[in-house]
Structure 1
Amino acid sequence: MEVVLEMTLPRNAESAPLVRHTLDASLRGLGVGSDIRADIALALGEACANVIQHAAAGKEYEVRARMDGARCVVEVIDGGTDAEQADGERGWGAAQAPPLAEHGRGLQLMRAFTEELTIADRAHRGGAIVHFEKSLAG
């Protein structure tokens, strides 16, 4: 069975928990274990937080997730970025943040808890697409 979620969300702090809970409920329904669900929730939360805090254009962002029993593929799509964010991963904290830093570790966390992490500019539209995958096998 394949489950596909597509959500358009307002760029505000209340939207991140909503999308995390929705995706988690779908994964739980597919029988995915709690450790894997927690990894996906953490990565999704980091991606959403970055869009909410830093995307300059647009009042909304999109989250797309596809689960097929073997993998979960997630894309978080923003409508634009601050000028300092314009260089793909540069705005995502490509430089290693100090271990005790309160900010700037989102990309490191996403890399540690997922697979196939990419961040790409949206061609001809502005903004970025954060794409990550996670195996659902425990």
Structure 2
Amino acid sequence: MSIWWSLHLRREAASVPLARRLLIGTMETAGVDPDISYDLSVALTEACANAVEHGGDAAPGGSQAYRVTAYLDGEKCRIEVADSGPGLPRAQDFRPARADAEHGRGLCLIQELTDHVHIGAKPGLGGTVVSFDKILKWTKDPSLLTA
């Protein structure tokens, strides 16, 4: 089975739960194990929150949107969150937040919850693309197959 969807969302806090609910609903309908769905939905929430907070130019006319794309293909789910912000610092300048910090732990959390993470710039456009994937486990009775 192969399912994919893409959303173009405004950089507003209200867009984050929308993306999360769509992902959870898609995975539930496809029969993905709830623990895997939960891990991916938390990782998506963190990536979207970063795009909302850091993902655009505050100048007039700057981008006020970001894009979320999810692919459930075979035994893997891949999610990409792309924004048009200033991008991340160079890898050698990026330091994870301290364990007791209130902000800055999202990328580390994404790395812990998924199997593979890639963080980079959009080629030629600036901005950041956070992509991650996870091997899927399935329930015995997916809604999509019984409907």
TM-score, length basis structure 1: 0.89
2:60 corresponds to which residue?
Answer: none
Contact 1:88 1:121 in 2 (8 A): no
Question: Equivalent of 1:63, from 68, 85, 95?
Answer: 68
Aligned residues, how many? Answer: 133
Give the Cα–Cα distance (whole angstroms) in 2 for the partners of residues 24 and 118 of structure 1. 22
The 5-angstrom pairing of residues 1-16 of structure 1 reads: 1-16=1-16
Percent identity for Structure 1 against Structure 2: 37
Contact 1:88 1:120 in 2 (8 A): no
Q: Secondary structure at the match of 1:118?
A: strand
1:107 corresponds to which residue?
Answer: 107
Deviation at 1:90, TM superposition (A): 7.1
TM-score, length basis structure 2: 0.84
The 5-angstrom pairing of residues 109-128 of structure 1 reads: 109-128=109-128
Q: Secondary structure at the match of 1:132?
A: strand
Deviation at 1:86, TM superposition (A): 4.1
Q: Secondary structure at the match of 2:116?
A: strand
Deviation at 1:96, TM superposition (A): 2.9
The 5-angstrom pairing of residues 22-61 of structure 1 reads: 22-57=22-57, 58-61=63-66
Runs of 4+ in 1 over 4 A off after TM superposition: 88-91
From the superposition, tell whether residues 77 and 90 of structure 1 become closer, same or farther in structure 2 (CA, over 3 Å).
farther
1:87 corresponds to which residue?
Answer: 89
From the superposition, tell whether residues 35 and 86 of structure 1 become closer, same or farther in structure 2 (CA, over 3 Å).
closer
* RMSD across aligned positions (CA): 1.7
Runs of 5+ consecutive residues of structure 2 not aligned to the other structure: 58-62, 139-147
State the AA in 1 paired with 2:48.
Answer: C
State the AA in 2 paired with 1:67.
Answer: L
Give the Cα–Cα distance (whole angstroms) in 1 for the partners of residues 88 and 41 of structure 2. 26
Deviation at 1:18, TM superposition (A): 0.2
Deviation at 1:11, TM superposition (A): 0.3
